[in-house]
Amino acid sequence: MSAEERRTPSGPRIIFVVFLPFGCGYYLSYLYRTVNAVISENLATELDIGPADLGLLTSIYMIAFASSQIPLGVALDRYGPRRLNAGLLMFAAAGAAVFAVADDFVPLLIGRALIGFGVSAALMGSFKANAMWFPADRLPLMNNLTGAFGAVGAISATRPVEMLLDVAGWRDIFAGLAVVTVAVSLAIMILVPERRTPVPAGESFARQLRGFADVVRDPFFWRVTLFYSAAYATFVSYQTLWADPWLRDVAGLDQTARANQLFTLQVCFLLGLLASGVLADRLRKTAVQAVHVFAAGLLLLALLEVLLALGVTSGLAVIWGSLGFLSSAAYLAYALLTARFPERLTGRAMTATNFFMFVVAFAAQWGIGVIIEAFPLQADGGYSARGHSVALWVMIAIQLACFLNFVRPAARERRDD
């Protein structure tokens, strides 16, 4: 037995030294992504930020995140997730520190961009580690369990943050997050064993970068990526920012009631991740596969958003909870792509999809703000309910178009292996 084999953890120990450290990193990633939904009113009031700038401030996380995905895919396949995740989280810690001390819009933008860049490997690194350490047919379950860490992070960014705002300012919250992020970075570096996907002899970084061509030439990649990106970008735009203004301007809720609705959304997001992961795992040997759960869940998600576009305010807990539950099916996209490509390309396949999704999310989150700002303010200073409705109808139409593309006859595909 080699020295590397003796150091390789097995059984339950993999959970503690691989799955949990990466999961904590993704917990922080989603907390950072979502926290602006609760502190948006504080930022707008204290620093006089309008809806378009608020959308840009929150969505710059998305574009900074997306900008790293292409080189990140090669780096994950070449160097493995351990050192990459640990190093990048230090940038997130620096961004949180900058955000905590910022006194106007530009430093806030810089801090938010650093955070987005710093957590850019949190999910993809976790999925790459799952692909390296767990059997392929268990990846839908393991990936959704990883996603559950993000859901807990999203939950932490709702009612708990709103309660913290009563005793501490948003600056104190971000200062504390900077410290916690450093601790998680060190845990990944110290606890996770080193393990890499073998790189073919003589294959340079540049040659690996060109390996993205093998991914993007596959029609199945685009069918999954377009539908996933449209659906999940819409959900993320509301989960991380625009749900709070909608609940204020359309439903007329105060900050505490809004935080409670967002808490319901995030709890159901967590429950959905667990349920869809277990369902896909249980169905893996039947005719119903993860791809069917993925498609059905995201179609229902788009149809449910019609209620928000119509301005329905009855049964809000059921509506927002169902949105959270159904959105969890999006995470199955990564298991579909992992199964589609050989191990040497899994990092690039997942990060290519993530890149596209975050570009779409950036455009969606900012674009929703631009649409809303095009309508006159309400008498009390809130945003127009009509603006909220138009923005939602635009996003619903895009999702339905991508769904139709996703379900087109598979016989028209020509995979280039």
Residue 11: CB atoms within 10 Å = 6
Q: Is the dihedral of CA 236, 241, 242, 243 positive or negative?
A: positive
pTM above 0.85, yes or no: no
Instruction: Tell me the three state secondary structure of residue 314.
Output: coil
Q: Is the dihedral of CA 70, 331, 141, 136 positive or negative?
A: negative
Q: CA 308: distance to chain centroid? A: 22
As assigned by CATH, the class of the 12-195+206-408 domain is mainly alpha
Q: What is the pLDDT of residue 361?
A: 84
Residue 163, CA distances (Å) to 159, 169, 170, 266, 324 in order: 6, 10, 11, 16, 22
Pairwise CA distance, residues 358 & 65, whole Å: 7
Pairwise CA distance, residues 82 & 194, whole Å: 7
Q: Is the dihedral of CA 143, 152, 177, 355 positive or negative?
A: positive
Contact by Cβ (8 Å): 87, 188: no
Closest of 294, 308, 338 to residue 139, by C-alpha: 338
Q: What is the pLDDT of residue 371?
A: 94
Give the pLDDT means over successive 10-residue stretches in the chain (417 positions).
Answer: 47 81 92 81 78 78 81 81 92 94 88 92 88 80 86 83 84 93 95 70 64 84 94 89 91 87 88 82 67 90 96 94 92 84 79 85 87 89 92 97 85 45
Residue type for position 328:
S
Pairwise CA distance, residues 360 & 248, whole Å: 25
> Which ranges constitute the DSSP H helices of 134-254?
139-156, 159-164, 170-191, 205-210, 212-216, 219-237, 243-249
pLDDT by residue (tens digit) across 245-254? 999 999 999 8
Q: What is the pLDDT of residue 417?
A: 40
